[in-house]
Amino acid sequence: MSNTRNKKSPKKTGYLMIFIGLILPWFFLDLTGLLMKIAGAGLIYYGIDLLTKDNEAFRPGKIASLLIFGARVVVLACEMILEPNSQLAVIASLIFMVPETFGMIMVIQTIAEGSMKLEEVTGINLDAEKMKKDSKWYGITAITVLMGTVFATFGIALFSLVFMIASICSLIYLVKILRKIWNADSTYGRWKDSGMVTAGYTVREEDIVAENTTSGTNGVFMAMPEEDEEEPNMKTIYLAGGCFWGAEKYLGLVPGVVDTNVGYANGRTENPSYEDVKYHQSGHAETVRVKYDETKISLERLLEKYFEAIDPVSVNKQGEDEGIQYRTGIYYTDREDLTAINAVYERIAEANEKPLAVEVLPLVHYYEAEDYHQKYLDKNPQGYCHLDGCMFERAKEV
């Protein structure tokens, strides 16, 4: 299997940069410490920027990291311009500790919120709720450190003790949060590598070892479906293109398509219901089984029509629908189809600056959806559809 994306997920690099940026200043003092703090703020911004590429929920962290960066640069300037450790320099440092502290709190909160969004979209447990609670306590202790620093600077002994205790607690919470972030990233990475997320890769003949079987994401080996020998011109391909109501309507209008059926493909459980797929994270993709006459339309042309109806670089999202059940994918049952699939895939990839987010995998299993989902838009002409109405007319153009 040849992955066209960088095998090292940008998310991992992002978390690593934030980890280093948050922890780095604790190991340096004086002017060196300030320089490390500024470098740390830059790493935090870079890390948040990488995370934002996968999840817009991380975006507020970029503002927070800029706030931290600005505050630390001003403190460094004060230390260099004013007499080091003078009362004026100390006061300036204390003043700019306020935006720095709140910037740190915002970064941690953003990571927690982003992780909660990832849980919602992927259905995997990243312990984000606990991360959010820890980030709240980190915020409380960080503010306490700020207040304790102010009072301790002016010689109030009691607050010196409070400052020390709060500093220790703050560091403990920071380490706990970073550990949760690291564990969450590992969980996300394993899930992403499992094929349960669209990662933009193609399957090539030399990558397939088994003769008539393929392993699913649940590790179960299942026989590949066979084509109906009584209809030699009829072929079948399974296409996931977001909500299957609109996808089925669109694909059914393509000349040469003989029949369509909607169902759930390549998930973790057997015989899933719609509720399992939508609410219980079964991992299936809403998929259209497309039966077509290869004497009337080639697989390449059919796939070109499919790509016209999807956003091929959108991960787990088509239109307003978001979640792994709405991922895009091409699932084949005949290995000879790989030549046509890869030819179209590579042409589309070359035409896009971003990597494609369309799975190309053998069909592991396919379960027909409930009757009310079949030909839904024929039964409900005014029903919901994520595709623009004009797409149905374009489907007819071959």
Q: At what angle do helices 128-153 and 87-122 cross, to 10 degrees?
A: 170
Q: How far apart are CA 318 and CA 311, in angstroms?
A: 7
The 3-state DSSP class for residue 292 equals strand
Which among 68, 59, 158 is positioned nearest to 111, based on CA atoms?
59
Instruction: Specify the amino acid at residue 62.
Output: K
CB burial of residue 8 (10 Å; 0-12, 13-18, 19+): exposed
Going by their DSSP bridges, the two strands 221-223 and 328-332 should be labelled as: unpaired
What are the catalytic residues?
Answer: 243
Residue in the block written with tokens 């490390």 = 36
User: What tokens does 361 get?
Assistant: 């995998």
* Three-class SS of 95-157: HHHHHHHHHHHHHHHHHHHHHHHHHHHHCCCCCHHHHHHHHHHHHHHHHHHHHHHHHHHCCCH
